[in-house]
Structure 1
Amino acid sequence: MNDKSYNRILIIGCSGAGKSTLSVELAERLRLPVLHLDALFWNEGWVPTPNPEFREKLQNELKKPAWIIDGNFNSTIEMRAQYADLIIFLDFPNWLCLSRVFKRRWMYRGKTRPDMAEGCPEKIDWEFVKFIWTYPKKKRPGVLQMLERANAEVIILKSPKEVERWLAVLHKGDMD
């Protein structure tokens, strides 16, 4: 990260890439509030918020002066990108994301993750596995096109090691 301070950070990437983990880490370091899109979209029992209502709730959050927002939801990615001053794309291999999702499922079996709406216990179904496995071919190209058009600074991190190195540089910059 350069000397510029960021108030609106968007973290995107495939499910299982570590978006929520990174957003919490950044929130602690930069003292910014976090919004997990999953928690905004899902209601108890995995009931989705209707799209018009979801977009309205999201728009209200985007207007706030400072935030870190993590999540996929390609239907709102352009909308979120317009407000961000930094976009971090966790561009990890699908096999890694899938293995992390299975690990997460085991860790939170029968429980709701901290970044999820209450009453939505961790689950995996075939559709979700297929989404993750096909993400590089089906979703990634559109994400990269959107990033090319973004007015925000864009950082693409391709591995957990790159995230660690970037956080180390960020930490040094915070100490100066």
Structure 2
Amino acid sequence: MDRIAIIGCGGSGKTTIARRLGTTLDVPVTHLDVAYYDNEWNTLPKEKFAALQEELVAADRWVIDGNYASTMPIRLERADTVIFLDLSPLACLWGVAQRRLRHGGGQNDQTGVYDRITWNFITYVRNYRRTMAPRVRSLIAEYADHAQVHVVKSRHAANALTTRIESGSI
């Protein structure tokens, strides 16, 4: 496990798992939200965002968390491990609420991720499994057929998978 792509809805736990695996495996971690958004919620131009990911995945070892379907093939083609956090909308909304309570919104000092909750974001989370997850599954099938793919459906299963990876049993 040298190149791990962690994908999933907002609030699914991508950042938490990425931090844990990065520490355990001593691998650099990139949170794509940090790369894509600045402190004022401005976005990086799409070409620059794609080029940045091309640079990141050229490294021998990495953990990258984020969804961003338009550039997902860049990560999936190079990943040797894909973790797709396919949690229920309720679990993800709960994760969003917990993150807000923990960090109070704004810039998270631990990860650099800027937390901004809008009605559009809540709608995206609520509809992710119906609208986005099928696209993610299709992208994984098309671009990551060489990788070890783990589809995780609950926080308990995500923690169990992460623990197995940390213990070296995967």
Residues 1-176 of structure 1: pairs in structure 2 closer than 5 A: 6-113=1-108, 114-116=110-112, 120=114, 122-149=115-142, 150=144, 151-173=146-168
Aligned residues: 166
Aligned-partner Cα distance in 2 for 1:147–1:163: 18
Aligned-partner Cα distance in 1 for 2:56–2:129: 29
Aligned-partner Cα distance in 2 for 1:104–1:161: 18
Deviation of 1:166 after TM superposition, in Å, equals: 1.8
- Opposite residue 39 of structure 2, the aligned amino acid is E
For structure 2, the 5+ residue unaligned runs are none
SS of structure 1 residue aligned to 2:129 = helix
TM-aligned CA distance change 1:66 to 1:129, over 3 Å:
same
Deviation of 1:49 after TM superposition, in Å, equals: 0.5
- Asked if the contact 1:17/1:97 (under 8 Å) is kept, the reply is yes
Moved more, 57-66 or 83-92: 57-66
TM-score (norm. length: structure 2): 0.91
Deviation of 1:158 after TM superposition, in Å, equals: 0.9
- Asked if the contact 1:88/1:154 (under 8 Å) is kept, the reply is yes
1:3 equivalent in structure 2: none
Aligned-partner Cα distance in 1 for 2:104–2:54: 32
SS of structure 2 residue aligned to 1:154 = strand
TM-aligned CA distance change 1:164 to 1:103, over 3 Å:
closer
- Asked if the contact 1:24/1:34 (under 8 Å) is kept, the reply is yes
Which one has the largest radius of gyration? 1
- Asked if the contact 1:36/1:69 (under 8 Å) is kept, the reply is yes
- Asked if the contact 1:35/1:70 (under 8 Å) is kept, the reply is yes
SS of structure 2 residue aligned to 1:43 = coil
Identity fraction in percent: 31
- Asked if the contact 1:88/1:155 (under 8 Å) is kept, the reply is yes
TM-aligned CA distance change 1:109 to 1:169, over 3 Å:
closer
Deviation of 1:172 after TM superposition, in Å, equals: 3.3
